């Protein structure tokens, strides 16, 4: 091997059957973050062994990168009124992981629409599915801050918007 040629090894993580790691990065705390075609993986070494979390791309609510602090943050789709799982890691060399996360999350969105309910406030209806196309379409509501999802007017707008979007994507 040429002394000018060096190959850096990628951190590894065990993934599901039929999946292959497309990009990965090691966090300062020793965790490994990785992405496959189908899911995001976070593997943390624990006292009793490895703890690996698999998050399908269609279950990623948001991901962002703070360049100033080298902090990567990924939040999962949650249930209204419950704490959403959020994963953070300091990555000094994210490599291609950030690009993969953006591409895979975007690929999971079939359609989204924001509708006003009370003046400037409203809700977003989002249709998502696995980027591989397997499985059905999942419908998610995101409510603007201060909007009560139990309000009958909000529920009616959500129902009507969902119905119109289902017809638009060919799902009666």
User: How many whole angstroms from its chain centre is CA 100?
Assistant: 11
CB 86 within 8 A of CB 74: yes
Residue from 164, 146, 147 nearest 155 by CA: 147
CB half-sphere exposure, 39, CA atoms < 13 A: 17
> Other CB atoms closer than 10 Å to residue 163's CB: what's the count?
12
Q: What is the pTM of this model?
A: 0.81
Residue 7's pLDDT is 40
Q: Which residues pair with 109 in a beta bridge?
A: 128
Distance CA 168, CA 14 (A): 39
Distance CA 123, CA 113 (A): 8
Residue 171's pLDDT is 77
Residue 119's pLDDT is 77
Domains and CATH numbers, the chain: 23-107 (2.30.29.30), 108-168 (no CATH)
Residue from 103, 97, 102, 104 nearest 25 by CA: 97
Residue 152's pLDDT is 93
pLDDT in tens, the chain (172 residues): 444 443 445 567 889 899 999 999 999 999 999 999 999 999 987 655 568 999 999 999 999 999 999 999 999 987 767 888 999 999 989 999 999 999 999 999 989 999 998 777 899 999 999 988 888 888 988 889 989 999 999 999 999 999 999 998 887 6
* Tokens coding 8: 């850096």
* Tokens coding 32: 């490994």
CB 93 within 8 A of CB 25: yes
Residue 23's pLDDT is 95
- Residue reference for tokens 């196309």: 133
């Amino acid at each position: 091997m040429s002394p000018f040629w060096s190959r850096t090894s990628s951190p590894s993580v065990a993934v599901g059957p039929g999946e292959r790691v497309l990009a990965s990065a090691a966090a300062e705390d020793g965790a490994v973050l990785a992405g496959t075609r189908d899911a995001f993986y976070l593997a943390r070494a624990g006292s009793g062994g490895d703890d690996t979390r698999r998050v399908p791309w269609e279950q990623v609510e948001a991901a962002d990168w703070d360049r100033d602090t080298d902090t990567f943050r990924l939040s999962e789709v949650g249930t209204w009124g419950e704490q959403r799982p959020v994963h953070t890691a300091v990555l000094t060399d994210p490599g291609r992981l950030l690009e993969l996360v953006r591409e895979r999350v975007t690929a999971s969105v079939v359609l989204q629409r924001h509708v006003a309910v009370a003046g400037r406030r409203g809700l977003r209806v989002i249709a998502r599915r696995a980027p591989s196309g397997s499985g059905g379409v999942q419908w998610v509501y995101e409510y603007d801050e201060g909007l009560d999802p139990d309000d009958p007017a909000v529920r009616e707008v959500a129902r009507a918007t969902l119905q119109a979007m289902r017809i638009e994507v060919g799902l009666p």
